[in-house]
Amino acid sequence: MRSLSGRLVSIDLGSRNINLISGRHKGRLIEVDRALTVPLPENAIKDGRIEDIYSLKSALRDAFVKNRINNRNVVLTIQSTSIITRDIVLPSVKQEDLDTMVKFEIEQYLPIVASEYAIEYTFLEEFTEEGSKKSRIRVAAMPQSMVDNYFNLLKEAGLRPVALDIHSNAVSKLFANIIFPEREGGLPARTYALIDLGHQSITVHIFSGGMIDFSRIITLGGMDIDTEISEAYSLTMDNAEEKKIREGCIYDGTYESCSTDPLAELILGRIDVWIGEIQKIFQYYTSRNTGNRIDSVLLYGGSSKINNIEACFEQVLNISVGRLDLTGSVKTRGKLDSFDTDCFINALGGIIRYE
């Protein structure tokens, strides 16, 4: 596959903000000339489904006009529990026969009607089993109504839809092309879990053999901590989030000796729950196949900025834990001197396109 070199605007529609970048993918770099965050209109999106197209359309239009963004070629990245992803194994066939076979097989695996879903797939590998050549295919199925609504949103906002991407695929491209493009013997030496500590949800992506092998969404997030801080300290939600990041040091050497400061205890109580849910996902993943393991964890997203959170995760999980760092992989241009990539991970992955 050849990377498309044209400049695009990649928009990540999150649960709280619209994160937008303008740029292009070039080799092992992503060049960015614009990066901005716009508050998501209240109740405009619920679990990836558009609930208020009018306010969302206005927010996008205003963002482009106020920031003088002339490029109208747009990629959207979204996340929803309505999106189904599965790996399936099929007999190796000609490309022209694969579309029909994938749609038939996904209906057998899942209780869906293929005609009601937009179905895309990626070839993962070919192997021989019992003397027959077979192909492992990764399939993503999104309700067609959801696809149509996003297409209409962009058209009504005066934008040109290039692609509708999903977070797991965006992060997968970022991992393979930018984060760990080098391979040892053709494959990365370690299995990584990339964990997005988002506002309303936590997403766990596990990469093995250079490809995404497993993804799960946990319906917990930083908003839960912000709500407790807001109530405990009589703060607005925005001020509560600032206090969480600015003052919320939760670890001072050992997990058991964490500070007895009330704020730290409040935050740690929630993080305990997060780690417990992540451990369940890890246990399920490692039990699926002999040899499955997690070697390293990389955190990103808004709540990954909580002071010492990686040390806290590492102490409990007993796995190497760090922050996802794209320093040196993102080049800024024009008036954009620098920007915090942490909340733009999905948008950065979305800008990587192929033909």
Given a cut of 70, whether residue 184 has pLDDT beyond it is: no
**pLDDT digit string (tens) for 289-311?**
888 899 999 999 989 988 889 98
Three-state DSSP state, 93: coil
Residues 6+ apart with CB under 8 A from 176: 210, 211
Q: How far apart are CA 219 and CA 309, in angstroms?
A: 19
Q: What is the pLDDT of residue 91?
A: 85
Q: How far apart are CA 35 and CA 284, in angstroms?
A: 37
Three-state DSSP state, 336: coil
* CATH number for the domain harbouring residue 297: 3.30.420.40
Q: What is the pLDDT of residue 2?
A: 45
Does residue 130 lie in a domain region?
A: yes
The Cβ-side half-sphere exposure at 293, using a 13 Å CA radius, reads 9
Dihedral pair phi/psi, residue 88, rounded to 5°: -130, 155
**pLDDT digit string (tens) for 98-152?**
888 888 888 877 777 878 989 888 877 788 887 888 888 888 889 999 999 999 9
* pTM for the model: 0.86
207 beta partners: 192, 212
Q: Find out whether 25 and 351 touch, Cβ atoms under 8 Å.
A: yes
Q: What is the pLDDT of residue 253?
A: 54
Given a cut of 90, whether residue 178 has pLDDT beyond it is: no
Token pair in block for residue 54? 């009018």
Q: What is the pLDDT of residue 252?
A: 61
295 against 27, higher pLDDT: 295
Residue type at 116?
E
Does residue 18 lie in a domain region?
A: no
Strand duo 330-332 + 29-39: pairing = parallel
**pLDDT digit string (tens) for 107-119?**
877 777 878 989 8
Does residue 123 lie in a domain region?
A: yes
CA distances for 34 relative to 24, 168, 267, angstroms: 11, 23, 33
- Confidence class of residue 195 from pLDDT cuts 50, 70 and 90? very high
Token pair in block for residue 26? 């070039």
For the four alpha carbons of 218, 277, 263 and 343, in that order, the dihedral sign comes to negative
Q: What is the pLDDT of residue 221?
A: 93
* DSSP per position, 155-187: HHTT-EEEEEEEHHHHHHHHIIIIIS---BTTB
Token pair in block for residue 290? 């002999």
Token pair in block for residue 36? 């901005």
Does residue 240 lie in a domain region?
A: yes
Does residue 137 lie in a domain region?
A: yes
Residues 6+ apart with CB under 8 A from 109: 86, 88
Dihedral pair phi/psi, residue 180, rounded to 5°: -135, 70
* DSSP per position, 264-286: HHHHHHHHHHHHHHHHHHHHHHH
Total of domains in the chain: 2
Give the residue numbers spanning the domain of 125: 84-143
Does residue 293 lie in a domain region?
A: yes
The residue out of 143, 168, 188 marking a domain boundary is 143
Q: What is the mean pLDDT of residues 57-75?
A: 94
Does residue 11 lie in a domain region?
A: no
- Confidence class of residue 188 from pLDDT cuts 50, 70 and 90? low
Residue type at 338?
S
Q: What is the pLDDT of residue 256?
A: 52
**pLDDT digit string (tens) for 248-271?**
777 665 555 455 678 888 898 899
Given a cut of 50, whether residue 1 has pLDDT beyond it is: no
* DSSP per position, 13-82: E-SSEEEEEEEEEETTEEEEEEEEEEEPPTTSEETTEES-HHHHHHHHHHHHHHTT----EEEEEE--TT
- Of 50-59, 71-80, 154-163, 245-254, the range with the lowest mean pLDDT is 245-254
Element (H, E) at 107: helix 95-109
Given a cut of 80, whether residue 87 has pLDDT beyond it is: yes
Q: How many helices (H) and strands (E) does the chain have?
A: 9, 16
Three-state DSSP state, 123: strand
CA distances for 349 relative to 89, 116, 169, 261, 352, angstroms: 27, 27, 8, 38, 6
Residues 6+ apart with CB under 8 A from 110: 84, 86, 141
Q: How far apart are CA 77 and CA 63, in angstroms?
A: 17
Does residue 178 lie in a domain region?
A: no
